A and B are shown apart, each in its own frame.
Chain A
Amino acid sequence: MAGVEKNMPILIVDDYKTMLRIIRNLLKQLGFDNVDEATDGSGALSKLRDKEFDLVISDWNMEPMSGLQLLKEVRADVKLKETPFIMITAESKSENVIAAKEAGVSNYIVKPFNAATLKGKLTAVLGNF
């Protein structure tokens, strides 16, 4: 895919406000300004069903709905199932990566991460920008 639209709506999901801000600012520095936020899977799912997003970037470890459950809900929803979904999490065990992959994750970033890693994964999922 080429010619990524920098104004594409992106939903970031994390229960830590500082991490939301970090991801938002790193995205901003990469040119992505149209970013909305949610603090758990259920809040994210509501937003995804209310408005169209072109990318979801989600943490895993959240209450009450985890990022993995959100991913499963997204992939099970006819309207949402094609939405690219990147997991950004401190969960770094192989069983986590396998579970996320089997649930349909588009890419997986382990925390702590840097801007270069985020850019690389965005490129892998969306195409060059």
Chain B
Amino acid sequence: MNATMESRIAALGNPGAGIDPADIAEVVESVLTSISGDNSGINIKLYEDIEALAKFIAAAKADITSLRADEINSKFIPAASDELTAIVGATEHATNEIFEAVDAIEAASSEMAPEAAAPLADAVTRIYEACSFQDITGQRITKIVKVLQDVESRVSGLLEALGEQLPAAKAETAAPSEPAPEAASQEELMNGPQLPGNAMNQDDIDALMASFD
């Protein structure tokens, strides 16, 4: 391979360089020409496949560029994560307000006759039970935030592979380190609330627990 060909191949591999399918086709043609022996049939097919692949990559790159993937990663995903985190904060604040009101009801009912206070105590219990929504919604939203972070990481990898200039802030989003086997096993068991239809109810769990006895 001569020096000119080597430098052209190196230029194609340079991150950030725009890759013209015609350039790839020319390089591939040159490489095939340099191979000795009877290679016409197989290599022509190989040449066509590589040329098609190059065109596909160029089209995909153009599509991704038009999608403004860098903006999705640097702006939209972090904004969505922030909004979801704010929802968790707001529901927690609202739940605490409800608790304060319940405390006031309990304090007032302690001054009442038992027969009058009993219905209030039942109502207070139901309020506490209902307030567990904050824990459930919080866990669901945290799952979504983790999914968004995963998408962000994957888009970063895609942009990097295509040679795009990544925003500095996003470059800090490192892929999580490989967990230890024991940790991975426990990680797989931490899925949070299941969607209706996928979840076992308390009766199912009681039956499963009893099956061990």
Which residues of A line the B interface, CB within 8 A? 14, 16-19, 21-22, 25-26, 29, 60-61, 66, 68-69, 90-99, 101, 107-115, 117
Q: Does the CB pair B132–A91 fall under 8 Å?
A: no
How many angstroms from the CA of A26 to the CA of B194 in the assembled complex? Answer: 24
The smallest C-beta distance from B75 to any residue of chain A, in angstroms, reads: 28
Q: What mask results when residues 114 to 139 of chain B are scored 1 for a CB within 8 Å of chain A, else 0?
A: 00000001001100110111111011
- What is the minimal beta-carbon distance from A65 to any residue of chain B, in angstroms? 10
- The answer to whether residues A21 and B189 also contact, given A16-B134, A92-B194 and a CB cut-off of 8 A, is no
A95 vs B202: C-alpha distance when bound (angstroms): 15
List B residues 174-209 near A (Cβ within 8 Å).
186, 189-194, 198-202, 204-205, 208-209
**CA A18 to CA B121, docked complex, whole Å:** 19
Chain B residues near A98: list those with CB within 8 A.
Answer: 208
Complex contact B128–A97 (CB within 8 A): no
CA distance A114 to B190 in the complex (A): 22
The one of B95, B125, B132, B209 that contacts A111, using a Cβ cutoff of 8 Å: B132
Q: Which B residues contact A (CB, under 8 angstroms)?
A: 92, 95-96, 99, 102, 121, 124-125, 128-129, 131-136, 138-139, 186, 189-194, 198-202, 204-205, 208-209, 212
Give the complex CA separation of A17 and B135 in angstroms: 9
With A18-B92, A68-B189, A110-B205 as given contacts, are A115 and B194 in contact (CB-CB < 8 Å)? Answer: no
> Is the beta-carbon distance between B202 and A21 smaller than 8 angstroms?
no
Given A66-B186, A68-B189, A110-B205, A18-B129 contact (CB < 8 Å): no
